[in-house]
Amino acid sequence: MKAKVAKKRSWAEPYKIKMVELLKMTTKEQRKKAIVEAGYNTFLLKSEDVYIDLLTDSGTNAMSDQQWAGLMLGDEAYAGSKNFYHLDDAVKKYYGYKYMIPTHQGRGAENILSKILIKQGDVIPGNMYFTTTRLHQELAGGNFVDVIIDEAHDSTNLHPFKGNIDLKKVEALIKKHGSKKIPYICVATTVNMAGGQPISMENLKALRKLTKAHGIKIILDMTRVAENAYFIKEREKGYENKSIAAIVKETCSYTDGATMSAKKDALVNIGGFLAINDKDVYEEASNMVVVYEGLHTYGGLAGRDMEAMAIGIGESVSDEHMNARIGQVLYLGEKLKEAGIPIVEPIGGHGIFIDAKRFLPHLKQDQFPAQVLAAEIFIDSGVRTMERGIVSAGRNSKGENYYPELELVRLTIPRRVYTQAHMDVIAESIENVYENRNKIKGLKMVYEPKYLRFFQAKFRKL
Ligand code: PM9
């Protein structure tokens, strides 16, 4: 007799839609004109010319009715707003950090932290660079060193935790420079530039042990910490029955502080914070924030923004929310895989990353394959994506281009914004561009700004 197999049941979003924003449809001719005017840079398009916007998951979240109601509770006092205390309580409750300073967004926190902890010539190891994080480290006089495992640089490698840190690389750095030159290790959850790849709890715990022995701090880039927790629950032994909330709190417990862009996981459109356990660092930061952001009880935010953030943090660690969030990303990724599109695997947390080197093997990296592929996808369907390759990587201190192993186009999925039908339309567009890939020509950069060039650089067709 055959054993009865339980029928797999479908999942659906744990919310219903109360308000809609109408989208504008454009013709191919209009889109061609728009992308030429934008210098083949999807950051320079007007959002009203975009049909489905996968540029970023940053600040593009749909807030819940509770968060919108929270906006009405904004206490817009200059100092000591009650929303600040609500946010402070949420950071303590869900993340466990002792002190918190709000900032206008993630890079505000990165600026303050880097200025306080980094001295000229210091070395800052991290699990792959992130654009704004590395820039602030460099502006403060530090040198970023990549200590992610080698597997992370290979888009086809199926390692379940490609965000892990190679402890041998960290040990070698300590040996070479001495621990005094390493003020902290920056640990990202999940690793954006690797394709939204998670770090395991086991790896983080081992890193804690190593850094403790050498008196080195761990600073978490906790921008997508709840998405990282989802993968730990799915893939790491011993965590399958723990809640996302418990895994998030445990993750934070192995670190000394964190920078947060709340525009991602925390489900708001603007906001961030710096969290820290060390009282001296907190006192310095709460003084410095006055110079760059605003008083330490608002840090560049309105009271209503802090209220929405406090509520969003609670919603972000719900298991139902995270199952649907990552479920949608997986749905799109599986569709693209079935169609033979080369993507980074395993599929990551906040988007699908197309491997432009394998998609357009006839283009050299300095012909900007990912940049041109993002432009072609926009022309095909009005779907806006972004480059995460040589343009994003920028130049080193000698002015030479970095040539990252990964040359990717990111299809970033905003949280709670699009439906499964949107995912189908996106997949069909990518498939169409893939069928015509041989006709795609490269680009030449004609304008390059000094900082974070991917935001504002301009190109023309070769
Ligand atoms: N990330 C993103 O689209 C927005 C800027 S780049 C297009 O992925 C990490 C891991 C991030 C991040 C922003 C920041 C900076 C820090 N760490 O944008 O300043 O992904 O709030 O955060 C973007 P802010």
Q: What is the pLDDT of residues 44-79, one digit of tens each?
A: 999 999 999 999 999 999 999 999 999 999 999 999
Q: Which CATH number do you get for residue 433?
A: 3.90.1150.10
In the residue annotation, 439 being an active-site residue is answered as no
Phi, psi angles (nearest 5°) of residue 437: -65, -30
Claim to verify: residue 389 and residue 333 sit in the same structural domain: yes
Mutate to test the pocket of ligand 1, among 45, 130, 415 (most ligand atoms within 8 A of CB): 130
Show the tokens assigned to 304: 């209503």
The pLDDT assigned to 1 comes to: 56
Claim to verify: residue 387 and residue 372 sit in the same structural domain: yes
- Residue 106 forms part of a structural domain: yes
Q: Which long-range contacts (CB under 8 A, 24 or more apart) does 150-157 make?
A: 152/127, 152/128, 152/191, 152/194, 152/197, 153/194, 153/404, 153/405, 153/406, 154/405, 155/195, 155/342, 155/343, 155/344, 155/345, 155/353, 155/355, 155/358, 155/406, 155/408, 156/345, 157/345
- Indicate whether 2 pLDDT > 70: no
Claim to verify: residue 268 and residue 357 sit in the same structural domain: no
- Residue 192 forms part of a structural domain: yes
Claim to verify: residue 81 and residue 220 sit in the same structural domain: yes
CA-angle at 293, arms to 291 and 294, nearest 5°: 80
| 3-state SS track over 426-444 | HHHHHHHHHHCHHHCCCEE
Catalytically annotated residue among 97, 254, 454, 459: 454
Claim to verify: residue 47 and residue 96 sit in the same structural domain: no
Claim to verify: residue 214 and residue 300 sit in the same structural domain: yes
**Residue 412 pairs with which residues in a beta bridge?**
351
The pLDDT assigned to 96 comes to: 98
Q: Which long-range contacts (CB under 8 A, 24 or more apart) does 230-238 make?
A: 230/322, 230/323, 230/325, 230/326, 230/349, 231/160, 231/161, 231/190, 231/198, 231/349, 232/198, 232/200, 232/201, 235/160, 235/161, 235/198, 235/200, 236/161, 236/200, 236/201, 236/202
The answer to pTM > 0.85 is yes
The residue contributing the CA closest to ligand 1 atom 1 is 58
Q: What is the pLDDT of residues 156-212, one digit of tens each?
A: 999 999 999 999 999 999 999 999 999 999 999 999 999 999 999 999 999 999 999
Task: State whether the beta carbon of 133 lies less than 6 angstroms from ligand 1.
Answer: yes
- Residue 190 forms part of a structural domain: yes
The closest alpha carbon to 160, from 64, 228, 92, belongs to: 228
Mutate to test the pocket of ligand 1, among 43, 107, 268 (most ligand atoms within 8 A of CB): 107
Centre of ligand 1 to C-alpha 311, Å, is 21
If one counts the domains in the chain, the total is 2
Claim to verify: residue 91 and residue 46 sit in the same structural domain: no
- Residue 23 forms part of a structural domain: no
- Residue 36 forms part of a structural domain: yes
Claim to verify: residue 96 and residue 243 sit in the same structural domain: yes
Claim to verify: residue 86 and residue 212 sit in the same structural domain: yes
Claim to verify: residue 181 and residue 272 sit in the same structural domain: yes
The pLDDT assigned to 397 comes to: 86
**Residue 459 pairs with which residues in a beta bridge?**
445
Q: How far apart are CA 269 and CA 262, in angstroms?
A: 8
The residue contributing the CA closest to ligand 1 atom 18 is 106
- Residue 350 forms part of a structural domain: yes
Confidence of residue 102 (pLDDT cuts 50, 70, 90): very high
- Indicate whether 5 pLDDT > 80: no
Q: Which CATH number do you get for residue 152?
A: 3.40.640.10
> Tokens 């079935």 belong to which residue?
338
Q: What is the pLDDT of residues 347-370, one digit of tens each?
A: 999 999 999 999 999 999 999 999
b/e map of 339-360 (b: 16 or more CB within 10 Å)? eebbbbbbbbbbbbbbbbbebb
CA-angle at 26, arms to 22 and 31, nearest 5°: 130
The pLDDT of 239-263, averaged and rounded, is 98
Confidence of residue 224 (pLDDT cuts 50, 70, 90): very high
Confidence of residue 6 (pLDDT cuts 50, 70, 90): confident
Q: What is the pLDDT of residues 109-166, one digit of tens each?
A: 999 999 999 999 999 999 999 999 999 999 999 999 999 999 999 999 999 999 999 9
Closest atom of ligand 1 to CA, residue 452: 6
Confidence of residue 11 (pLDDT cuts 50, 70, 90): confident
298, 316, 334 - which closes a domain:
316
281, 316, 351 - which closes a domain:
316
The pLDDT assigned to 3 comes to: 64
- Residue 332 forms part of a structural domain: yes
Residues sharing a CB contact under 8 Å with residue 277, sequence separation 6 or more, in sequence order: 97, 98, 99, 256, 257
- Indicate whether 379 pLDDT > 60: yes
289, 316, 343 - which closes a domain:
316
Claim to verify: residue 418 and residue 376 sit in the same structural domain: yes
Catalytically annotated residue among 78, 403, 447, 451: 78
The pLDDT assigned to 106 comes to: 98
DSSP tally for the chain: helices H, then strands E? 16, 14
Give me the domain span that covers residue 420: 28-57+319-461
The pLDDT assigned to 332 comes to: 98
- Indicate whether 239 pLDDT > 70: yes
Centre of ligand 1 to C-alpha 58, Å, is 7
The pLDDT assigned to 308 comes to: 98
Show the tokens assigned to 44: 């320079």
- Indicate whether 462 pLDDT > 70: yes
Claim to verify: residue 174 and residue 274 sit in the same structural domain: yes
- Residue 119 forms part of a structural domain: yes
Residues sharing a CB contact under 8 Å with residue 395, sequence separation 6 or more, in sequence order: 401, 402
- Indicate whether 23 pLDDT > 70: yes
Q: How far apart are CA 297 and CA 79, in angstroms?
A: 6
Show the tokens assigned to 428: 């069909």
Mean pLDDT of the chain: 97
